[in-house]
Each structure stands twice: as structure tokens, then as C-alpha cells.
Amino acid sequence: MNRTSFAYPNSAMIDSIAILDFGSQYAQLIARRVRELHVYSELFPWNAPAETVLAIQPRGFILSGGPYSVYEPEAPYIPSYVLESGLPILGICYGMQALTYSLGGRVGAARKREYGPAEVETTTPNPLLTDGIHRVWMSHGDRIETPPAGFSVLARSANSPVAAMGDPQRRYYGFQFHPEVHHTPGGREMLSRFVFQVCHARPQWTPQSIIAESVERIRKQVGDEAVIAAVSGGVDSSVATAMVHRAVGDQLVGIFVDTGLLRQDEPAQVRQALQETLGVELVMVDAADRFLSALKGVTDPEQKRAIIGELFIRTFEEEARRLGKPRFLVQGTIYPDVVESSAPDRANAQRIKTHHNVGGLPEDMDFELVEPLRYLFKDEVRQVGEALGLPSRLIWRQPFPGPGLAVRCLGEVTRERLNRLRQADFIFTSELEKAGLLRLHHSQTGDGHQTGTAQAFAVLLPVQSVGVMGDQRTYQECIALRAVSTEDFMTADWARLPADLLAHIAKRIVNEVDGVNRVVYDITSKPPATIEWE
């Protein structure tokens, strides 16, 4: 397998910020926050080769947090080329401590660890923090005891005498807190001040620039050869297909594989949406029996993903041979897929799960991958889709995992259990749609939570419980309902759906879906849980 990454952008045209990842689960949020400012940012492992990082010609560096203590023997450190570059640096949490340690300051264990909300007070006028008290999110066990020479203390908290520090001459700054998370309300403005006032970057990262750069790179990669696209009807594969179609036109053929693991009426909807909207030649492949046979008796989620990923590609190879065996395959891989699968370019992060279109693909497959969305977040994908002219119904379609219902049907995947899950899922989402809650709304409830859902679905659990129906004892399966609000899908909160609506949905599922006698609602945020159950 040859995976071609799209490392945006053309550095001669678009300003960028390099983010060095020291293993923080928040690192990708820093990249997203910078991109929200229309400035390109890219996440690199802290020990990436200098030439790889400097190839994007960054206007500055941001150093992420991480799970280490700087004084540990194996702790990551700031590469020399960063300090020698003369470019601005912002260290966040561990990044601030690493900057302190590298420049001769002193870092020590805090007498009291600080996790969660805190207040910091600005003590010295500076370009990043306005005067006054700021609500922030802390997550650290060490703190700065003595800043390096040339640094001033910019802010303090009750437990951190150096909550922020800076050296304006060298344009080095550090935050002990995390400006990238939503729990730091002024964090966006703080990052904006660093990007624009300190790094002097220009806001050039827009959907139009993404499309222009992607089209150029696709044409350069593909030339005049034929391309096939793995299309599912979801937003990611649809936007990726539209992007490649914009670049190569009739060289592209879309292939839709019906795995038997799709939602209710989805194959027909996919055919209509892609053929009518995109104008792409579309080949439909009914492979449901083949997939269900391969999944018989399998209960481990990672094994499911591996089986589906390989069979998915093998099916494509068979269709490709019928089409003259094109060399290139389009996939809608996006940045969260890459991050959560802990691809090799993220050395210090822990694998959460394998995405079937990232870590579950066989290495010996026959295609060279074209992944124009590989470094885009979900909200960026939707913005690009709108700029490409895709309809709203396609762009805002509920996200759906590559392995389909196989990872929402916990335990063994059978035709009977899939039908049970489909019915429950359709009842849930159709009732949310009737209530106007199937999409996230920007209005907020009195307690500050967003209304609506960014993603909502049903999960079938391999758990049976006792129930009573018509005065008779039942022993049937359980449906879990999952609905979340999120902007980036890297963190998510459970949706506060009305209790009366949930009661109505539960009643419908129990009454209408054979084999289900219990419905529960998942109120776990991400983290600690993931959005999907498997």
C-alpha cells in the first residue's frame, strides 16, 4: 500500500504554524484552534526531522502539553533547531515546562496538582493576555519554580506562581493552562494574539485555498490515469469524491459497496445523492452476504474492523480489475481518524481504536491512496463541501463509521441483530429530526450546554435482561442511545435531550422492535469515553 499524504499547504503561498506534539490528547485541538483563525497549522511529533517541520516554512512554533515530567530521563525535549530558528514559540503546559528547562529555568513538582477549572490573574502587561482575571483549564502536576533568564511572570494562579511567562525580546511565551480547550473561554483570543501579533501570520487558510491546493496536488499525483473512489454517502467520502472529481473529471469512477452494514434505506439514498448531485459514474456492488459470512462468530471490535477493512479493499480490487485495474483509490480519511488510530507519525500518543480506513487496511493492497482530506477536521470538511457546491442534506448527514453497524452491533453481527439495530436507530433519529434536534444548534440552554446533536445513533448491546410484556416474562436485548454535541469530534459532551422525548423514543423502540425490552441513554462525555462504543 502506498499512502500519499497531503501535507498542506504550498508554503510559498500560505503562512503556517508548526505544532510539536509531546503526546497530549489535546494536541490536535491546538491545530484546530489555529485553523479556525484561517491560518494553516500542522501537528508534528516532537522528534520529527527538522527538514520535515521546516518544510512548511512556519511563522512560529507551538509546543503542546504531554504526560511527562521534564526532569525524567526519557522525557521529550525541544529540538535545537526550534530554538535556533529565531521564530516565536508558545509553550503550553508541558511545552512551557520544556521551554523553561531547555533555557535554564527550574521546574518542580507542585505541592498541589491542578486539574480542572482555575483562575489566573494577569500581573504584567503583555501581548497575549488582557488585564484582569481569566477563567482557564489546568491539567498539570509540575510547575515553574524559576523562569529562565529574560522571562517575566505574566500571570499567576492560586497554585501556580508562574501561570504564564514571556520573553518579548525573543518572542518566547508559555501558558501553564490550556488555551485550546473550550473550558478556557478566552483561549481563542489568546492564541489569536500569538498567531497574528507575535508571529505576524496572515489568515489565508480558507475553503477556497484548500480546494485550489488539493486540486493541484491531486492532478500532480494522478496525472491522466484512472481513479476509483470509495464512496459511502457520508460527508467525508462525498467531499473527497467531489474534490477528486473537480480535479480529474471523468477519470474518476465511484464504487459503492453495500456491505449489509448500512443504516435503513441507505443504499438507495447514496445512489440518488451521488449520481444526481455529483454527476460521478457510480458502480453499485451488493456484498452483504460476503461481509456477514466473514463476520460470523466474531465479537472482538478490532477483529471486526480488520476483517471489514481487508474485505472492503479486496472487493474494491475485484471491481478495479473489471474496470481495467486503476492505480489510484480515493478515500475520505480525515485528521481525527489519523490521530485516534495513532499513526506512526504520532509517536507519543496512545492508540484509542483502529479506524478501518487508516489502521485496518492491508499493507499489500493494490492501490495508491489519494486522501485529500487526511489533514482536515470535520468542520473543515463541511466548509470545503459547501464551497464545492454539495447540498446541505449531504454535508450535514449524520457521521457514520467506516465499519458501519458492525461496531454499533456489539457482540456477534447477524442479519437478525442488524435488522433490530436498524429499526431502533431509525426510530431514534427520525424522532430527533421531528423535534428539530438532529443537528447541532448554536443557541444554548440556560446551563451553557449546546442544544441539538452533532451525532446520534443507537447501539445494540449483547446483554439480555428480564422484562414484562403483556403479563409475560421476557428476556431480551438492550438498546443504548447515544447523542452528543461537539464541534470537532475530538471532544464531545452528551446531548441534554428532553426527558419526555427520550421516554417517547424508548416506548416506540420497545413496542416496535422485536427482541428489545430495555432502552438506556449514554450520558458519558468524550473523554473518557469515545463517541462510538466500539
- Whether 356 sits among the annotated catalytic residues: the reply is no
Task: Indicate the burial class of 511 (C-beta count within 10 angstroms; 0-12, 13-18, 19 or more).
Answer: exposed
> Which residue in the list 134, 140, 178, 245 is annotated as catalytic?
178
> Which residue in the list 93, 199, 409, 478 is annotated as catalytic?
93
**Residue 143's closest CA among 164, 126, 127, 120?**
164
Q: Is 88 left (phi over 0), alpha (psi -120 to 50) or beta?
A: beta
3-class state of residue 450 by DSSP: strand
3-class state of residue 251 by DSSP: helix
Q: How many CA atoms lie within 13 A of 492 on its CB side?
A: 26
- Whether 504 sits among the annotated catalytic residues: the reply is no
For the chain, the helix, strand and coil percentages under 3-state DSSP, each to the nearest 5 = 35, 25, 40
**Residue 134's closest CA among 195, 200, 189, 88?**
189
Cα–Cα distance for residue pair 172/186, rounded to 1 Å? 20
> Which residue in the list 36, 42, 114, 180 is annotated as catalytic?
180
Q: What is the dihedral of CA 371, 56, 27, 488, to 10 degrees?
A: -50
Pairing relationship of beta strands 152-157 and 164-167 according to DSSP bridges: antiparallel
- Whether 38 sits among the annotated catalytic residues: the reply is no
CB atoms within 10 A of CB 140: 21
Q: Judge whether 358 and 373 are in contact, CB under 8 Å.
A: no
**Residue 92's closest CA among 33, 40, 132?**
33
- Active-site amino acid positions: 93, 178, 180
